[in-house]
Amino acid sequence: MDRLIAPLPGRATACEACSNQPAAAPGLAARLPCVCAAHEEALEGLMARAAAFDHEGPDHPKRVGRIAALLAEEFGIGEQDRALLERAATLHDIGKMALPEGVLAHRHVLNPEARRVMERHTVLGASILAHARAPWLRLAAVIALMHHERWDGSGYPSGLRGTEIPLAARLVAVADVYDALRSDRPYKDAQDHGQALARILVGDGRVGPAQFDPKVLEALRRREAEIAALPR
DSSP string, 185-226: BTTBPPP-HHHHHHHHHT--SSS-GGGS-HHHHHHHHHHHHH
Provide the mean pLDDT of the chain.
82
**pLDDT higher for 9 or 147?**
147
Per-residue model confidence as pLDDT tens digits over 78-125: 999 999 999 999 999 988 888 887 666 555 567 788 889 989 999 999
Percent of the chain with pLDDT over 70: 70
Give the contacts of 216 (CB within 8 A, at least 6 positions apart).
71, 170, 171, 173, 174
**pLDDT higher for 20 or 212?**
212
**pLDDT higher for 28 or 141?**
141
Q: Is the separation of the CB atoms in 168 and 144 below 8 Å?
A: no
Percent of the chain with pLDDT over 90: 52
Q: Report in angstroms the alpha-carbon separations of 46 from 89, 125, 129.
A: 13, 12, 11
Half-sphere exposure of 221 (CA within 13 A, CB side): 10
- Sign for the CA dihedral angle at 15, 78, 209, 193 comes to negative
pLDDT given for residue 1 in this prediction: 41
- Any idea of the CA torsion for 20, 139, 93, 157, to the nearest 10 degrees? 110
Whether the pLDDT of residue 26 is over 80: the answer is no
pLDDT given for residue 13 in this prediction: 42
Whether the pLDDT of residue 34 is over 60: the answer is no
Per-residue model confidence as pLDDT tens digits over 125-184: 998 888 877 888 889 999 999 999 999 999 999 999 999 999 999 999 999 999 999 987
Whether the pLDDT of residue 11 is over 60: the answer is no
What are the structural domains of the chain? Answer: 38-228 (1.10.3210.10)
Buried b (16+ CB within 10 A) or exposed e, 122-142: bbbbbbbbeebbbbbbbbbbb
Gyration radius of the chain over CA positions: 19
Whether the pLDDT of residue 47 is over 90: the answer is no
**pLDDT higher for 116 or 17?**
116
Q: Which of 73, 70, 69 minimizes the C-alpha distance to 85?
A: 69
Q: Is the separation of the CB atoms in 68 and 89 below 8 Å?
A: yes
**pLDDT higher for 16 or 200?**
200
